[in-house]
Structure 1
């Protein structure tokens, strides 16, 4: 849904026709478009994770999928710190000037850190050395 909002330029036309200049200007601003593009990328990743967690998989497959996603969050955070936007295709295309400003970079890093913290809270680590886990795994 966010992807449609990002891609549909008719929203700006609608705001202009409704004489909502303040909303129109804000919606068209590079900062808002960059933030929206980042959110589109994040929600696409979360939707892909959701699809992977559906179906007739076992707890080990789900555990591995969630751990992999949390590792991706760390990877994305490191890439953003270095100014690499390769993992965020919408964000990459939205940035006109080609660089992330330091404040937006900080916001993304904070968001990715908070997202990982919430994943850890919802999916606590499993002690993989426990015999019961090894028995079930094999």
Structure 2
């Protein structure tokens, strides 16, 4: 939905101008709005790729998807200014430079997102994670890796 709004932003601006919504029109024309919306389009696209719903998947696959996404967020947070993982934003940056506040805003957002995901999906205790590893793929485990309680 957000991606579609971003694609149609020029048409939406024309609509707002025709309806006399000058306050909303000014907000949409602001550079911060355009760049931050492009950034959010890419974040939501990444979240949608997690596929946290559906059949024929088990809880460990969901857990692995969340862990991979959390690692991706940490990587994006540490590589501040690198927009390779954000195609919509990268495409926009080819036309004009980003405002100075974009890096600070996106870094703060990534930090908040990492914190919130950590609250909703905390790390498993190491003993519990070892116990689940045998369930993920039992044929790739050695006897030493398997807890004695499970042998």
Query: What TM-score, normalized to structure 1?
Result: 0.84
In the alignment, the residues of structure 2 paired with residue 134 and residue 94 of structure 1 have an alpha-carbon distance, to the nearest angstrom, of 42
Q: Is the 8 A contact 1:41 1:91 kept in 2?
A: yes
In the alignment, the residues of structure 2 paired with residue 120 and residue 108 of structure 1 have an alpha-carbon distance, to the nearest angstrom, of 18
Q: Is the 8 A contact 2:35 2:98 kept in 1?
A: no
CA RMSD of aligned residues (A): 1.9
Q: Which residue of 1 aligns with 2:135?
A: 136
Q: Which runs of 5+ in 1 are unaligned?
A: none
Q: Which runs of 5+ in 2 are unaligned?
A: 139-151
Q: Is the 8 A contact 1:12 1:24 kept in 2?
A: yes
Q: Which residue of 1 aligns with 2:12?
A: 11
Max Rg structure? 2
In the alignment, the residues of structure 2 paired with residue 129 and residue 67 of structure 1 have an alpha-carbon distance, to the nearest angstrom, of 17
Query: Which piece of structure 1 moves more, 4-13 or 17-26?
Result: 17-26
Q: Which residue of 2 aligns with 1:122?
A: 120
In the comparison of the two structures, how many residue pairs are matched? 134
